[in-house]
Structure 1
Amino acid sequence: MASNTDFLLSIRTSVKLHETLLKKICETCRLTLIEGKVIAFLHNNPGKDTAADIAEFRMLSKGNVSQAVESLIQKGLLQRIPDLHDRRRIHLVLLASSDPITAKIDCMMEEYRQYLFQGFSQKELDCYQKLSERIMENTKNAMKGRNTYE
């Protein structure tokens, strides 16, 4: 079995690859990396559409997310929509002008998956999926009641 360091390093390396691929899109589209992460998150996570969701799930600072959201609104890529039931809650919606960027993100994610799973059989992919789900469930159970993002 791999050491704890190897396990954590493999996760970090995978995240670094994702960021490297996203940076290329950001450079082409004149976005900061945080702006790219915000767009990618909103595009890939329907129903998770608040700045707090982005900060929590992407483990980004609320200040950085807020700044990126404001910049994306100024660039005409994003819109704020107040929640109909809770006026304190603001939903973030990508505008049609972000479509060329999200199309690039879709292509990037396919490239990312190809890098990660190169040479895997369908059986291995299925096994990986099941193991990943179990690891995530175990992680969520271990984190219950803990303040994880401060």
Structure 2
Amino acid sequence: MNNHMELVNGLRVITRFYDAQRRAVCRRVGISQMEFDILVFLHNNPGRDTARDIVALRGLPKSNVSQAVEVLMGKGLLARSQDAEDRRRVRLSLTEAAGQLMPQLLEAQQTFWEQAFRDFSPQDAECFAALYGRIVKNLSEKGGNGNE
């Protein structure tokens, strides 16, 4: 990589392709991209089932997550319950209706991964993951979490 613009433009290409995959399925099933992110997050992260978890781990704005959770509940795709040990904590869970949507949502993710890594060997993919993890760690240590 010769300069920072190659990195920035590469990240834009990745983001645009992933967004296009999400947009297509969102239109088909009648949900927003934020709603997609929340449903897929809850499916892919068992035990990380609070709005706070979504905000912290996905880096999404709290107000947007709260609003999308309400919409998903109204659509019958999410349920909430109080934590048995801490009544202040509200747990979110996918409903049966959400479970029926998940194959389509996960297919969009899978299409992204297959295209992004189509000519990677397993070793290449592992190397990329390790290097990417180091980049994220380096930038996170410098306060590069986007929340300044």
TM norm structure 1:
0.85
Going from structure 1 to structure 2, the CA distance change for 1:57 and 1:2 (only over 3 Å counts) comes to: farther
Moved more, 94-103 or 56-65: 56-65
Shift of 1:147: 7.5
Q: Flag structure 2 segments of 5+ consecutive residues without an equivalent.
A: none
What SS does the aligned partner of 1:133 have? helix
How far does residue 59 in structure 1 lie from its aligned partner after superposition? 2.7
Q: Are 2:142 and 1:142 equivalent residues in the alignment? A: yes
* SS of match in other structure, 2:142: helix
Amino acid at match of 2:116: L
CA positional deviation for 1:69 = 0.5
Identity across the alignment (%): 33
Alignment-derived partner of residue 52 in structure 2: 52
**Cα separation, 1, equivalents of 2:87 and 2:12:** 38
2:106 maps to what in 1?
A: 106
Report the Cα distance in structure 1 between the residues aligned to 2:54 and 2:126, rounded to whole angstroms. 28
The one-letter code of the counterpart of 2:41 is F
Q: Which residue of 2 aligns with 1:5?
A: 5
Give ranges in structure 1 of 5+ residues lacking alignment. Answer: none
**2:142 aligned partner, one-letter code:** A
One-letter amino acid of the structure 2 residue matched with residue 141 of structure 1: E
**What is the CA–CA distance in structure 2 between the aligned matches of 1:30 and 1:48, rounded to whole Å?**
25
**8 Å CA contact retained: 1:25, 1:101:** no
Going from structure 1 to structure 2, the CA distance change for 1:88 and 1:148 (only over 3 Å counts) comes to farther
* Runs of 4+ residues deviating >4 angstroms: none
SS at match of 2:91: strand
Structure 2: which amino acid aligns with 1:133? G
**3-state SS of paired residue (2:92):** strand
What is the RMSD computed on CA atoms of the aligned residues? Answer: 2.1
Where does 1:110-125 land on structure 2 (aligned, <5 Å)? 110-125=110-125
Q: Is the 8 A contact 2:50 2:92 kept in 1?
A: yes
The alignment of Structure 1 onto Structure 2 pairs a total of residues equal to: 148
Matched with 1:27 is 27
